[in-house]
Amino acid sequence: MSDAVLVATDLERSFPIQRGFSKAQVRAVDGVSLTIHQGETVAVIGESGCGKSTLGRLVAHLDEPDAGRVMLAGTDPSGIRGRALREWRRRVQVVFQDPYASLDERMTAGRIVAEPWLAHPEKRPADPRARVAELLELVGMRASDADKSPQQFSGGQRQRIGIARALALDPELIVADEPVSALDLSVQAHIINLMQRLQTDLGLSYLFISHDLAVVRHIADRVAVMYLGRIVESGPADEIFERPTHPYTRALLSAAPQLDRADPRQRIVLQGEIPSPTQPPTGCGFRTRCWLATEACAEVPGLLARDNPRHAVACHHPFREPTAQPADENRAS
Ligand SMILES: Nc1ncnc2c1ncn2[C@@H]1O[C@H](COP(=O)(O)OP(=O)(O)OP(=O)(O)O)[C@@H](O)[C@H]1O
Ligand SMILES: [Mg+2]
């Protein structure tokens, strides 16, 4: 595997909230570590409220962790200021979910794409208009679209403009938080294909946040599954989809209708609600809904690799396929 672009270690982020007359803390991200390599797409999946967007914001330095570090090529943004911090920010760009809300209606597409150069004059090209035209064409738009305003574009076209804006600063990593979920199904595939082409052509890395497992299966190299602010399983996408080992991952994947054909496993219907992130269970966060839970689960399970060093699971009772081991290995044991 090529070099790590981003290494996040033990990230924590809580939010104070008012509950009636008392105050409480939402533990949105609770000890997450994550590495993203050059040219790689790491997807983060999990139910609503599990902390995906908070993690994305921490990685993009749109928010600061209470604890832990986000290192980009060896540099932690919390320790730098001024030009060095600007350079850090330049290298990580964000594509947002809603292309209707994220583009300023009063600006032309050309100004939107050029806007990042105001904060980063060092990246301003000699001929901004020509570069805007180039960027628009790179994302499948026309150079003449630069003079139109966002209202004149469809959702898919708006998202292309959002991507062109993210590319204006030549980033290394793009954090894409549900980049296609606001779009029509027919348009989603075009945007995903565009993102894949740009990745190949420009060597980009993606942190791809999505609840759409079919999209994730298509685009991700690696997958991290989150539950109540923690990563409960992570590994190569094929491994996660073919051999999920955490009970939560198994339940999550079994509930995705798009995946049924490839996956003959029984549907697992989870009992109970997701616990409130203001009062997560002690020990394993999933144990209140887990059909395999035992007393051992009162201890927080570490995120550990088992058979495959790249596939880690935080569970005291991880699932093992009976056929997962080679026959002679079985005989030896
Ligand atoms: N600024 C904030 N103030 C208070 N609570 C917050 C804030 N941001 C997030 N939270 C809470 O933190 C938890 C994680 O939120 P987050 O938005 O990261 O989840 P998510 O996985 O992105 O969910 P979704 O799939 O719905 O987008 C939730 O309980 C949410 O209510
Ligand atoms: Mg979110």
Is this structure's pTM higher than 0.75? yes
- With 0-12 / 13-18 / 19 or more C-beta atoms within 10 angstroms meaning exposed / middle / buried, residue 295 is exposed
Residue among 27, 88, 43 nearest 61 (CA): 88
- Bigger pLDDT: 78 or 63? 63
Least confident window among 79-93, 198-212, 234-248, 283-297: 79-93
99-144, pLDDT tens digit by residue?
A: 888 899 999 999 999 999 999 999 999 999 999 999 999 999 999 9
- What is the C-alpha separation between 277 and 219, in angstroms, rounded? 29
Given the CA of residue 56, which atom of ligand 1 is nearest to it?
A: 18
Q: Supply the residue whose CA is at minimum distance from atom 27 of ligand 1.
A: 48
- Counting from 1 in the atom list of ligand 1, the atom nearest the Cα of 209 is 22
Q: Are 196 and 227 in contact (CB under 8 A)?
A: no
Instruction: Indicate the pLDDT class of residue 261, thresholds 50, 70 and 90.
Output: very low
> Of 11, 44, 52, which is best to mutate to test ligand 1, by the most ligand atoms within 8 angstroms of its C-beta?
52
Closest CA to 195 of 211, 226, 216: 216
Assess contact for 5 and 73: CB atoms under 8 A.
Answer: yes
CATH architecture of 4-100+171-329: 3-Layer(aba) Sandwich (3.40)
pLDDT at 2 over 80: no
Comparing CA positions, the residue from 221, 197, 199 lying closest to residue 35 is: 221
Q: Are 243 and 324 in contact (CB under 8 A)?
A: yes
Cβ of 236 less than 6 Å from ligand 1: no
Residues 6 or more apart whose CB falls under 8 angstroms from that of 202 comprise 167
Distance from residue 51's CA to the centre of ligand 2 (Å): 7
What 8-state DSSP symbol labels residue 143? Answer: G
Atom of ligand 1 nearest to the CA of 278: 29
pLDDT over 70 (residue 15): yes
Does the beta carbon of 280 sit less than 6 angstroms from any atom of ligand 1?
no
CA–CA dist 293, 248 (Å, integer): 12
- CA quadruple 256, 260, 262, 265: dihedral sign: positive
In this predicted structure, what is the pLDDT of residue 198? Answer: 98
Ligand 1 pocket residue status of 275, Cβ below 6 Å: no
Q: Identify which of 212, 232, 208 has the alpha carbon closest to the alpha carbon of residue 220.
A: 208
Q: Which residues touch 274 (CB under 8 Å, ≥6 apart)?
A: 47, 49, 50, 228, 289
112 lines ligand 1 (CB under 6 A): no
Q: How confident is the model at residue 271 (pLDDT cuts 50, 70, 90)?
A: confident
Average confidence (pLDDT) over 280-300? 96
Question: What pLDDT does 19 receive?
Answer: 80
**Ligand 1 centroid to residue 248 C-alpha, Å:** 19
CB burial of residue 122 (10 Å; 0-12, 13-18, 19+): exposed
Of 37, 332, 4, nearest to 206 by C-alpha is 37
- Nearest ligand, measured from the Cα of 49: 1
Contact in structure between 167 and 202 (CB atoms under 8 Å): yes
CA–CA gap between residue 136 and residue 194 (Å, rounded): 12
Rounded Cα–Cα distance for residues 88 and 263 (Å): 42
Q: Inform me whether the pLDDT recorded for 1 exceeds 70.
A: no
